[in-house]
A and B are shown apart, each in its own frame.
Chain A
């Protein structure tokens, strides 16, 4: 469990981030998309990359609950409540950041009134809601016993909150416990197909687009599933180290993350190999932007060196050392935004038609000139801070750690 000093430091950072980031939120609300550096040829930028970053973080709980309740790996059971709570925070941040990206957010009700059945974004919304529902219920059933217990403890702060969350329940019998675990098992099994489709559909949003050099292809949805599991798994490993200090658990999780990192790098290698060897000018141009473009260091230094090579070395050589494994996972998480940026932007940063760059000059009709402006960074900071605040408060005021005790015998 983090010390009070860490907790207060992180809480202060989250509040400072919310205050500073609010300026960007105000700009985005007041001036709309005009406050961003986006254009018509690069219409998706930093916010979509941050959305995909959070999408990946949600996969941690997916990975843990599947391993625990579908594959019956008992060792992961104690972190079930923590991972289910993490997914709720990450998915909320995901929904908030993508809402900022909409030109007319208040028309979101249109998803219900005039759904586009053929649109991958429509299905993304459907499956996002399904995931929220599944993990909200799963989190609740995992925490319920402790919530009821806490609501009955004399002198416990915020008892009213726990009484409210217990919905009037004052005692918890063995039968209740069994019933809740049956529900959790059912929800976990349900989350397997729903989660795979959810991550796959997010990949399909990009994969089905004609004439997109890097996105278009069957590899993209698979890449999305693997990247989500990798970044989500790394997050859960890091959190397990911080909150549980269970070396054996971190050790096992480290193996899973190392395996996923190797698979991800292999898929990425395939993407680059096939792209370069096919030699289509548009594909080559996109890959060149990643490898040799103005932000080459994002790929070589941030992603490959700090986010892949160093963690891989640490996970392979020092896999017995829980602290090193946790920090290797931390490196993977913080550099993962580079992976997302390199996925979203270079594909759009090539002109689709020859001659388009030489006509009708306007800064919204350029490709390589896009760089997220202050508003985009501040809004992202605000959402990250909000997520951190929610996580810190949740881990302090909800039984996400204590509820995991003794969970293994129910798997």
Chain B
């Protein structure tokens, strides 16, 4: 069939896959992601949508897009590698936590209990992918001048964005004005578990304009993610470390 004929948007298929996965027993699901590097155009929309979804403060980022220049002139191009937490199945970061504030769920997502984390940052040092960041309690509006009684100014801007609670892990986080968690904590990508719970795909998946990010239950043979994992182009970051990431890439 010609590629020019109308095709189903991959998002629609992934949405169907997700609904099917959510009908399974939770312990039978294994979340997985495949990122097709040939489709990534380096727009950073996934980074921004993740920041907005999780109300990330300055200096905290869950999903960056690595940029490299490869080759030599005139055969030169830029390579973009989106890097969320790769959700290792043998995660080095969870084992080092002295207070068991981070662990791998039975569905394969590596998560953090913000109210248990003591902020020692050992997990940041231990992650070979630099996928964890620490919340140093910074504000985008730190240098915004105060304009009392107007629609503008620091407080108004904070009320409009930064003080809105994030919905990570299905809870209302945080009241940043009081300096409570997740300030001072280690933070990381959690596969948007709060969205998955209500049948929505992760923010980075829905915002990907090139449809380069594929997500779903990697144990479901009908799913798009399962299909892509069988590609000969598949590889994983730093496979030699034995961390067994749940996030794979297509060359």
Bound pair: A and B?
A: yes
Chain A min CB distance to B232 (Å):
24
Answer yes or no: B193 CB below 8 A from chain A CBs: no
Contact B96 A119 (CB under 8 A): yes
Q: Which residues of B contact A125 (CB under 8 A)?
A: 98
Q: Is B83 an interface residue (CB 8 A)?
A: yes
Which chain B residue lies CB-closest to A205? B122
A103 close to B134 (CB less than 8 A): yes
Tell me, in angstroms, the Cα distance from A354 to B47 when the chains sit together.
18
Complexed CA–CA distance, A352 and B243 (Å): 15
> B134, A121: Cβ atoms under 8 Å?
no
Q: With A32-B179, A44-B121 in contact, is A119–B97 under 8 Å at CB?
A: yes
- Counting CB contacts under 8 A, is A118 at the interface? yes
Structural contact, A33 and B96, CB atoms closer than 8 A: no
Interface assignment of A294: CB less than 8 Å from any CB of chain B: no
Structural contact, A32 and B136, CB atoms closer than 8 A: yes
- For window 116-148 of B, CB contacts with A under 8 Å fall at 116-122, 124-126, 128-130, 132-134, 136-138
Contact bitstring B152-190, A, C-beta under 8 A = 1, else 0: 000000000000000000000000000101011110000
B64 on the A face (CB < 8 A): yes
Bound-state Cα–Cα, A113 to B118, Å: 12
Chain B residue, CB-CB nearest to A211 = B128
Most chain A CB within a 10 A radius of its CB, from B116, B122, B243? B122
Complex formed: what's the CA distance from A44 to B125 in Å? 8
**Segment from A53-61, A104-112, A248-256, A270-278 that makes contact with B:** A104-112
User: Is A210 in the interface zone, CB < 8 Å from B?
Assistant: yes
| Residues of the A chain whose Cβ atoms lie less than 8 Å from the Cβ of B99 | 107, 110-111, 113-116, 122
Say how far A285's CB is from chain B's closest CB, in angstroms.
15
For residue B81, CB closer than 8 A to chain A, the reply is: yes
List B residues 72-106 near A (Cβ within 8 Å).
79, 81, 83, 92, 95-101
CA distance A122 to B122 in the complex (A): 11
A297 at the interface (CB under 8 A from B): no
Complex formed: what's the CA distance from A110 to B113 in Å? 12
Q: Closest residue to B63 on the A side, CB-wise? A: A360
B128 touches A32 (CB 8 A): no
Whether B101 lies near A110 (C-beta < 8 A) is yes
Partner of B125, one of A34, A101, A348, A355: A348
Known A31-B137, A211-B238: A111·B67 in contact at CB below 8 Å:
no
B contact residues, range: 35 or more
Residue of A nearest to B243 (CB): A210
Indicate if B210 sits at the interface (CB-CB under 8 A).
Answer: no
Alpha-carbon distance between A36 and B238 when the two chains are bound, in angstroms? 31
| Smallest Cβ-Cβ distance to B241: which chain A residue | A210
B61: Cβ under 8 A from any A Cβ: yes
Chain A residue at smallest Cβ distance from B61:
A360
| Smallest beta-carbon distance A50→chain B, Å | 16
Complex contact A104–B118 (CB within 8 A): yes
In the bound assembly, the distance between CA atoms of A292 and B61 in angstroms comes to 31
Chain A residues with Cβ below 8 Å from B38 are none
Interface string of B30-53 (1 = CB under 8 A from A): 000000000000000001000000
- Tell me the chain A residues, 3-37 only, with Cβ under 8 Å from chain B: 31-34, 36
Chain B's nearest CB lies how many Å from the CB of A249? 40
Instruction: Check B100 against A103 for contact (C-beta < 8 Å).
Output: no
Contacts A114-B101, A121-B120 known; 17 new A-B pairs at CB < 8 A: A33-B137, A39-B59, A40-B59, A102-B119, A103-B183, A110-B99, A110-B118, A116-B96, A119-B96, A119-B122, A209-B125, A212-B125, A355-B81, A360-B47, A362-B58, A364-B58, A365-B59
Shortest 9 CB-CB contacts between residues of A and residues of B: A103-B119, A103-B184, A355-B66, A364-B59, A40-B133, A43-B121, A110-B99, A211-B128, A121-B98
